[in-house]
Every structure is written in structure tokens, then in C-alpha cells.
Amino acid sequence: MSNLTRRDPLDDFLRGFLVRPVEYGNTTTEAPQMKVDVKEANDAYLVHAELPGIKKEDIHVHIDGPVVSISAERKQSSEVKEGERILRTERYFGQVSRSFQLGQDLDESRASARFNEGVLELSLPKKIAVQAKRLVIE
């Protein structure tokens, strides 16, 4: 038995032209990728990471040799008033993180970080390479 559907071309035209359905799309938001710029100077690396909407106390930076890890958490404030309902939400709430390896070990004791207008600025001095020492045999 075949399923036949009767369609009126004029009705389809008017429905698609005059009455546009509102498409809300996917309401589940993926974790955004943290955008990072890395520059190299003679004695240090300079890192700028975009972290809009995040408080500086919710940002953590970890240095392990040449590896830099940045993690941050954006906390959701649930502010829904009585009589309101959420139709669409695209803002991401949760944790984002990013790790990358630089070309040389870093001197974490001299490293510094600033957070200004949603941009984390890291100054990561390179560790001074220890020169090999030749021993004199007596």
C-alpha cells in the first residue's frame, strides 16, 4: 500500500513565502575554542589568550617545562524571571582549556600574567640553557 499525500502548490508557496517558521536551531552550545596568539622574542614568549566574560579568579595557568596549560571557567548565572521562558541560548557556560608546547623550557619563577578586558597576557621568559662544563682531570 502506498502513502499518497495531497499537496496544494499554492498553499506550499504561501506557507513558505508569507509565513516563515522561526528556526531556533540547535540549543546545545559547544565549548568554544580558546583563541591564542603566541609571539617569540629573544628571551621570552608572549601569549595573548581571548577569554571574554570570564573573571580573572576563574583562570588558571600551569607551566611544566616547555608546556603551558590555560584553563578557565565561565559560571552561569541562572536569572530567569517569573513568566519568562528561554527560547534560545548560545552563550557557553562551563570550562575551556588549552595546552601547547613551546620550543624551549620556561623560567616559571620569572613568568608573569595580566588579565585586561577579556584578554590574558602572559610573559614567559625562556630558561637560560646551562652550558656544558668540561672537567679537567687531575
Say which CATH number the domain at 59 has. Answer: 2.60.40.790
The domain of 48 spans 29-76+90-125
Decide if 23 is inside a domain.
no
Query: Is the pTM value of this prediction over 0.75?
Result: no
Alpha helices in the chain (DSSP H): 9-17
C-alpha cell recorded at residue 6: 495531497
Tally of structural domains, the chain: 1
pLDDT at 6 over 70: no
Decide if 135 is inside a domain.
no
pLDDT over 70, % of the chain: 72
Q: What is the pLDDT of residues 52-80, one digit of tens each?
A: 888 999 999 999 999 999 999 887 766 66
Decide if 57 is inside a domain.
yes
Decide if 3 is inside a domain.
no
Decide if 96 is inside a domain.
yes
Going by pLDDT thresholds of 50, 70 and 90, the confidence category of residue 22 is: very low
Per-residue pLDDT at 78: 67
**Which residues make Cβ contacts (< 8 Å) with residue 71, sequence separation at least 6?**
59, 60, 62, 95, 96, 97, 98
